[in-house]
A and B are shown apart, each in its own frame.
Chain A
Amino acid sequence: MAIKIDPNCYYTKSHEWVRVEGDEAWAGLTDYAQDLLSDIVYVELPGEGDSFKQGEVFATVESVKAASDIYMPLSGEVLEVNEQLANAPELINKDPYGEGWLIKFTPSDLSELGNLMGPDAYEKFIKEEEEKGGH
């Protein structure tokens, strides 16, 4: 099964994606991350209006294997969280870049995109991760 990568996103080394559209941005978990975690059973999301810096923990997801912290791809203030995940955490497994989004937020400093990977770099990065065997 090939890992999907959205060409319109930027990526972190901890496998979050961010998609910027105008003044707003969406963030979520990558297809690679959901595949590693396996079936997600619970998601803990931040409150609307909460602010996080790039790299800070903003959410936690729990799968049958483990609970994992999710890190903010860009600094910003949360506008909206994906309420649907409360009853349907499997949306992250089914559609990680679409219906499985975690938060919508206002990024405060777009120059931070420079710290992230583009789709090609991310594809290369996960290939290396696979070869290393660890993560």
Chain B
Amino acid sequence: MTKIVEPLIFELSSPGRVGAVLPELDVPPADIPAELCRADLPLPEVSEVDVVRHFVRLSRMNYGVDLGMYPLGSCTMKYNPKVNEVAARLPGFVYTHPYQPEDQVQGNLQLMWELQEMLKAISGFAGVSLQPAAGAHGELTGILIMRAYLCDQGETQRDTILIPDSAHGTNPASTSMAGFKVVEIKSDERGNVDLEHLKANLNDRVVGLMLTNPNTLGLFDEHVCEVSRLVHEAGGLMYGDGANMNAMLGIVKPADLGIDVMHFNLHKTFSTPHGGGGPGSGPVGVVEKLVPYLPGPIVDIQVVGEEEHAGHAHEGEEEMVEVFFRLVMPAKSIGRVKTFYGHFGVMIRAYTYIRMLGAEGMRRVAEDAVINANYLMAKIKKVYPLPYDRLCKHEFVVEGKLKDAPNVRALDISKRLIDYGVHPPTNYFPLIVPEALMIEPTETESLESLDHFADAMLRIAEEAKTNPELLHEAPHNTPVSRLDEVGAARNPILRWKPAE
């Protein structure tokens, strides 16, 4: 990483300097009421070259998947193929406008329809809406669909959602947003949902259970079908958190596990940029009985000219069938959850990814992601305690606690990893593992880069014993060293102010 200390753009400001010169006004000025006008606009006064150099210098201090491994557990920071960007920049997509009539944007609608179909094939669901803007938005959407369905069934007394303690942290937040209560379900000693604890909490107040599978320990629930059966028997619905879909692509369909609603994370599983490069996209898939409640509009295919041609095709003549794609609102839709049609640019990238890989490629993704995670787990578990020691899926969680270095914590290990040129894993999540380090290499890392990470982890464990200060003060090779996270949280300075 390059060592530069870069001032804020406001500090680069020089009075009177401009980056663009506008032509003189040659039309009558707009009549804006005086009380709506402001006299001062304290923006930085900089030239074009100041701006370009400032942001290029900042970009050289940045770290991303294009620079190195990014094993941030739960986030699936896989490499984002550049062909996705080529497709998303095709002029036919770039220059369409959401207010154009359907007959002018058939190509865009066809892409959306095909993406809906592909996600249905991957998941086994009967319907998909591409509307939600991100994962947690998909969760909220899914819960609102469950609520609408149960209310329609007259089950208005249901007000509680069960969430295992190994679920994603957004699940309880989405539940609260939807106005429901959360009851936490414990994990058993193998990291599965504790069936006895689940049974004790099932009753006619339960809306459903939100299952992250594989869970945040990277473990596939060994009783998932039994969990679904019990929840359904109690009249509840099964929500699937699809954030960890990368481990299941082409191998297991969530609908076959008894999941009724699930969100996909196009920005995780389907290789669209995220983490500052987003936006995300969180399509929701549902089983047949929930299709009428999907948020709209969704894209439907209509076969035109079928009636005119039916039976009239002469021998040797191909039957003329034309299709028309249209936007429809499902019959009992919970309504819109996003302006226009969701994040279309992200859909193009995910569509490209799926088409480039095909069905076989999808399966390879999951297999390689799982193999990579198990390879790393086997290499580092000799040194880092592994609380649930069984085959993992796409990620695993170790404890950042070392036997001979009692004062070293997960945070110190993570900060030291930065010095080795690797992005740290997720820290302190899931909460059921003390000093958690949650590691997800993804399928896009080579053997060399996996070895580099494992070697760095093992060397850090050695350093923790021989020179713990090195870890406490890490990172050393960055523009700024250890940041005061406590100070930043207790006394945040949220905006720049000019010096008095």
Contact = CB atoms under 8 A, between A and B. Distances in A.
Contacts of B387: 133-134
Contacts of B428: 65-66
A124 interface: no
Interface residues of A, number: 13
B200 interface: no
B402 interface: no
A133 B434 contact: yes
Contact of A134 (B427, B429, B434, B485): B434
Tell me if A's interface is mostly helix, strand, loop or mixed: loop
B490 A41 contact: yes
Contacts of A39: 486
User: Chain B: interface residue count, which band?
Assistant: 10 to 19
B111 interface: no
A135 B489 contact: no
A42 interface: yes
A121 interface: no
Contacts of A62: 489
A16 to B, nearest CB: 17
Interface in A104-135: 133-135
B385 interface: yes
A135 B490 contact: no
A36 B490 contact: no
B172 to A, nearest CB: 10
Given A41-B490, A65-B427, A133-B399, 6 more contacts: A36-B434, A39-B486, A42-B489, A62-B489, A64-B485, A66-B431
Interface of B: 385, 387, 399, 427-429, 431-434, 485-486, 489-490
Cβ-closest 3 pairs across A and B: A41-B489, A65-B428, A39-B486
18 contacts: A36-B434, A39-B486, A41-B486, A41-B490, A42-B490, A64-B485, A64-B486, A65-B427, A65-B428, A66-B429, A89-B490, A90-B490, A133-B385, A133-B387, A134-B432, A134-B433, A134-B434, A135-B432
